[in-house]
A and B are shown apart, each in its own frame.
Chain A
Amino acid sequence: MASYTPTVSLDDPRTSTGGNGHIPPHHHDGDDFGSSFFDVRLRRARLGLVVGLTGIVMIFISFSSAYVVRQGLPTLDPRTDVLLHDWFPVPLPRLLLVNTAVLLISSLTMEIARRQAARKAALAQLASVPGVSMPAKEGVSWLALTVVLGLSFLAGQWMAWRELAASGFYVASSPSSSFVYLLTGMHGVHLFGGVVALLTAGAASLLRRPADSQAIAVDVTGWYWHFMAFLWVYILCLLEFVH
């Protein structure tokens, strides 16, 4: 075995590019030893989610800054040749409050489903041990309930759009109505992505995929769902209060 001087890293400054010859102490990152693979996968999926949400946050920050900037812009009235401000807030349909309540409740059911899936995954590891009996299947599928509530929210948003249109506010009617449609629409698209993810997770359970895979999918979608609820409250506040 080649053995060369251990003083290399001390004597020769040129070689000091990152600690020679020893393994750094175990960090949680980059090291899969000592924790179960379920934990590793869960950690990885959650990290991916946080990174992904950062991207989504940037999208909505851009829209928000456009919203604020657009409010301050004057426009030229071609008839009078005067600069004037054309921003006036759109009266938001009351229905949006109902939708908000539906979404917040769905966040709650999602949380129950998430914890349930985590428990199931933990128990699944014990299922093969003789003498351990699995709890009977739950009466209510919180996951399914969340999907139903999520779809009701989306349907409610659609009805709110119809109501807006009925009172004369279309996408291009005024700058603020453009933003109402834009922000609710973009949020709706993202929430629909969450619904699809939940359906996929549900299908995984029907297809008898391993409980831990399903638990990870439900966990990550759960946090995504909570984030979508938070985002919606933020958007509502932006539309209602920032003028």
Chain B
Amino acid sequence: MAGSTGGGETIMATRELAAHELHAHAAPQGFIRKWVFSLDHKVIGLQYYFLALTAVFVGMFLSLLMRIHLIWPNVSLPLVGEIKPETYLSLLTMHGTIMVFFVLTTAPQGGFGNYFLPIQIGAADMAFPVLNMLSFWVTFLGYIVMLSAFFVVGGAPLHGWTGYPPLSALQSAGPGEGPGADLWVISIALFCVGALMSALNFITTTLDMRARGMSMMRMPLTCWAWFITAILGLLAFGVLFSAGILLLMDRNAGTSFFVPLVVVNGQLVAHKGGSPLLWQHLFWFFGHPEVYIAILPAMGLCSQLVSVFSRKPIFGYKAMVYAMLSIGLLGFMVWGHHMFMSGMSPYSAFAFSIMTMAIGVPSAIKTFNWLGTLWGGRIRFYSPMLFAIGFVSLFVSGGISGPFLAQPVLDIPLHDTYFVTGHFHLIMGVASIFGIFAATYYWFPKMFGRMMSESLARWHFWFTFVGTYAIFMPMHYLGMAGATRRYSQFTELAYLRNLIPLQKFITYAAIVTIAGQFIFLFNLFWSMKYGKKASDNPWEATTLEWTTATPPPHDNFGGLTPVVYNGPYEYSVPGAPRDYVMQNDPATVAAH
């Protein structure tokens, strides 16, 4: 008897050991394990964030070069010298690719998702910490490979971020289509691998690691957004990966998946029978969900912030969840609307068009609910809230041109004009960047233990908000007037000459807006060292990350496991002692 009791204790002891192993790997000691090859989701989140921060400045610099070249075509520019038409194409390719993959996909999901998903659901880490570390380092490798395309013979590729063959598939198609284009494809493939591993981790963590009491319908909408984004990533990145492999084979193994029999630079190519359309289908089957991968986290965050800073529960929590789910689902059925000009049956075009406009419904539900949350709220206009409201504004202005482009009859004249550039920059680019800014201002106190300067943040907001509208709204007019995308010079074309003043205005606005971003950069690093010390819950928010220390300890909750009693948006509850009830506050149970 005594013996078996002893045995039982041993089993208990091993189980406790296993529990320890299960919930938190030991806190690392050395610099390398702590900050470089870290298993801690918080450190990995910061790594993703700072990767995206460098990428966004690279991407922004490229766009600045393009804008300057557009209005002063003969000026020789730093680092690139004289800009030839193909140099311009390289700049726009790298700008688009770096921004879409290494900023808009990386920061909201890899950065903030990694840092805050486990904390918000009450877990000690991601489900698979080693895999999480690998995802980051594979993404990092992809980033380095992408940047290296600038420095190889022939320079960076010319084929745009969509990489349409035959241009992208033939080494002889242009100066950047040699090794630069190979590096581009390899980088994208690496990015896909990283994104797939990361999606695996996010989905498993959300489904299996939630704290006691944290039912799916009690998750903050940020977590829902990260979860749905991960599902989209899981289903979309594999397709892009496959397309990338086929493209690499066409480029280097002589196959003809995408290349038909064409004459390039006066030479008949050695390929035949492939279909550029096949690439377009595969690419856009990924590419359209990718738009939502970029913006869903911002939607979730915006819902969170609008509720926190209006001191009101989110209007229609379930409607928000179902709207995000239906946006995700519809996002997989609309890829054809990118290809109206590529030739397709009018019946398919009609179906794609209807599906695309249907996305307007859940989007309108979300907008309505954001406004409904703001309505009658005691709004606190702190910088995260400014950016959240800015997000709603951009989402509406950028989204409203979506149904225009969704109709083939309108898309045919507007396709490949600045109208499209204006549309997707507002909704996919800037709106999602506003999400990243809002998240930075909101979570900075939790991540670094200090507050960011509020007055600098306001300056940054107004510069960026007015600036981005000044850049991208006129692009819609340019597009309607017939200004085509991807042209490096307009001075030679008589019908576009009248638009040059508007192009100049856009460039000036871009220069001012870019200058405004240095306010943010300064604020970020200055506040890390000199900002006011933050309390554990400076915004008086309810979710679990505000219940723990600032910055959170290695295992997030200091050896405790949170238990959740409330939904995430319990603000202004009548009779409650404060105007918010924390998710882990058991007071209502006591009342029962």
Residues on A close to B: CB < 8 A? 1-6, 8, 11-12, 14-24, 27, 29-33, 36-38, 40-41, 43-44, 47-48, 51-52, 54-63, 65-66, 69-70, 73-76, 78, 86, 125, 128-131, 171-172, 175, 178, 182, 186, 210, 212
B120 interface residue per 8 A CB criterion: no
Interchain CB contact (< 8 A) of A48 among B127, B563, B591:
B127
In the complex the two chains form, is A70's CB within 8 Å of B278's CB?
yes
Is there contact, CB below 8 Å, between B18 and A21?
A: no
Q: Is B137 an interface residue (CB 8 A)?
A: no
Measured CB to CB, the closest approach of chain A to B322, in angstroms, equals 14
**CB-CB under 8 A for A8 and B575, given A17-B570, A38-B18:** yes
Tell whether A19 pairs with B217 under 8 Å between CB atoms, given A2-B576, A70-B257: yes
Q: Which residue of B lies closest to A78 (CB)?
A: B261
A66 x B261 contact (CB < 8 A): no
B590 at interface, CB cutoff 8 A: yes
Mark B184-228 against chain A: 1 for CB-CB distance below 8 A, else 0. 000000000000100111011001111111110110000000000
> CA–CA, A139 to B253, complex, Å?
47
A27: B residues at CB distance < 8 A: 215
A14-B313, A129-B4 are contacts. A3–B273 as well, Cβ < 8 Å? no
Say yes or no: A8 contacts B573, CB within 8 Å. yes
Whether B261 pairs with A171 at a CB distance below 8 angstroms is no
Contact A62 B591, beta carbon cutoff 8 Å: no
Pair A172/B3 contact, Cβ less than 8 Å: no
> Do B235 and A58 touch (CB < 8 A)?
yes
By the criterion CB–CB under 8 Å, are A15 and B208 in contact? no
Interface size of B by CB at 8 A reads: 84
Question: Contact check: which of B203, B255, B317, B564 meets A23 at CB < 8 Å?
Answer: B564
Does B19 lie at the interface of the complex (its beta carbon under 8 Å from any beta carbon of A)? Answer: yes
The 4 A-B residue pairs with the shortest CB-CB distance, nearest first, are A21-B588, A18-B567, A30-B210, A75-B273
**Chain A residues with Cβ under 8 A from B207's Cβ?**
29-30, 47
CB distance from B256 to the nearest CB of A (A): 6
**A59: nearest residue on chain B (CB-CB)?**
B238
Q: Is B568's CB under 8 angstroms from A17's CB?
A: yes
Q: Of B7-15, B58-66, B398-406, B522-530, which stretch is located at the interface?
A: B7-15
Give the chain B neighbours of A171 by CB distance below 8 A: 249, 253-255
| In the bound complex, CA of A203 to CA of B81 (Å) | 55
User: Is B53 an interface residue when CB atoms closer than 8 A count as contact?
Assistant: no
Bound together, the chains give a CA A86 to CA B566 distance in angstroms of 64
> In the complex, given contacts A17-B314, A86-B273, A128-B10, what are 16 additional A-B residue pairs having Cβ atoms less than 8 angstroms apart?
A1-B590, A11-B574, A17-B317, A21-B589, A21-B591, A23-B563, A27-B215, A29-B208, A30-B211, A38-B18, A43-B208, A44-B208, A48-B201, A178-B256, A182-B249, A212-B18
**Cross-chain contact of A55 among B199, B211, B243, B587 (Cβ < 8 A):** B199
* Residues 235-260 of chain B, each 1 if its beta carbon lies under 8 Å from chain A, else 0: 11111011101100100011111001
B275 at the interface (CB under 8 A from A): yes
Cβ 8 A contact of B213, one of A16, A23, A128, A210 = A23
Is the beta-carbon distance between B589 and A5 smaller than 8 angstroms?
no
16 contacts between A and B (CB under 8 A): A3-B587, A4-B591, A15-B313, A15-B570, A19-B217, A21-B565, A21-B589, A23-B212, A30-B207, A41-B18, A41-B22, A58-B235, A59-B241, A62-B242, A66-B278, A73-B275
Q: Contacts A30-B211, A48-B204, A55-B199: A17 and B587 contacting too (C-beta < 8 A)?
A: no
Residues of A within 8 A of B313 (CB): 14-17
CA distance A210 to B21 in the complex (A): 12
Asked if B569 is at the interface of the complex by the 8 Å CB criterion, the answer is yes
Beyond A4-B591, A31-B212, A178-B249, is A69–B275 a contact (Cβ under 8 Å)?
Answer: yes
Q: Which residues from A are CB-within-8-Å of B214?
A: 30
B288 at the binding interface (Cβ < 8 Å): no
**CA of A75 to CA of B278, assembled, Å:** 14
* A171→B256 CA distance, assembly (Å): 10
Task: Determine if B242 and A4 form an interchain contact, defined as CB atoms under 8 angstroms apart.
Answer: no
